[in-house]
Amino acid sequence: MGIRLKFNLLLVVISAVGLSVFGLVAGPAINAVARDEVIQSARIMMESAAGARKYTSEQITPLLQDRLQHRFYPQAVSAYAAKRSLDVVHAKFPDYLYREAALNPTNAEDRPADWEADLINSFRANPQRPEISMLRSTPTGRMIQLARPIVAKPACLECHGEASNAPPAMVAIYGDRNGFGWKPNEIVAAQIVSVPMKASTVRAGYITKSFLLPFVGLVVMFFVAVNLLLHFVIIRPITRIASTAEAVSMGEIDTPEYRYNRSDEIGRLASSFTRMQRSIVEAFRMLSKGEIDVS
């Protein structure tokens, strides 16, 4: 096995180890960055919904307060406003979803799925927890779910306290069995935003390639540089020294001396061999002239 092959095998092993370390270290880090981007998108949607809720409760509901006793206006409900505003996003991006799931909702459409009920109960068990994020696999792909608790405030109890105190127009639509009995400051529901991981997975792959391609390019350049260095600094000088030594050993004393005018280790080896070649040539000449008695 030649020197060049040994060096190249060593470089292959080092490169393979480097790529493995890159995959082990960079892969999870890049995936974490991609997940953080998705969660940030979910937070933006959540803040948009919160803004719609606040605007409705502070600006719209007071204007309709007198009319609510005679006619129920869903536009006066902050949850309705939040859902309708996020419907605009859902219409353009169907995988982006917003829900307000409640354990005891007025509208049956707001009943929670099992995993949504688990989120609400988790908030009830840990009232100080501001939000929960989780990764779920769905039929359409992996989704990030971001949830925040909804606390029953005094304004909520006007409709969801005792059924007898609720606006008659609302009771006429939804009945008096569901959505009542809420307690002050009780966590009764959760805002839940669902954002697909698909786009972030593509971005993570792009980021990985952005790091991996330069790394591969550097490895290739390193291979080329090392092989050029091996050829011109080590292999070619040693090959010429070996060829000269072989010729001299076969009695070809007129073989030209090999000159390597450098002061590195190969240069010292070449100088030593040149001195040895001169000594051998001189010895051959003295033998041929009979100046050395070999008897």
The pLDDT tens digits of the residues spanning 162-178 come to 888 877 878 888 888 88
Q: What is the mean pLDDT of residues 229-236?
A: 85
Threshold 0.85, pTM exceeds: no
For residue range 178-227, what is the model confidence (pLDDT) as tens digits?
888 888 999 999 999 998 888 777 777 777 777 778 888 888 898 888 88
Instruction: Give residue 132's pLDDT band: very low, low, confident or very high (50, 70, 90).
Output: very high
pLDDT of residue 290: 63
59 within 8 A of 65, measured Cβ to Cβ? no
> What is the average pLDDT across 137-153?
88
Query: Which range is least confidently modeled, 123-127, 133-137, 262-266, 269-273?
Result: 262-266
Average pLDDT over all residues of the chain: 83
How would residue 122 be classed by pLDDT, with cut points 50, 70 and 90? very high
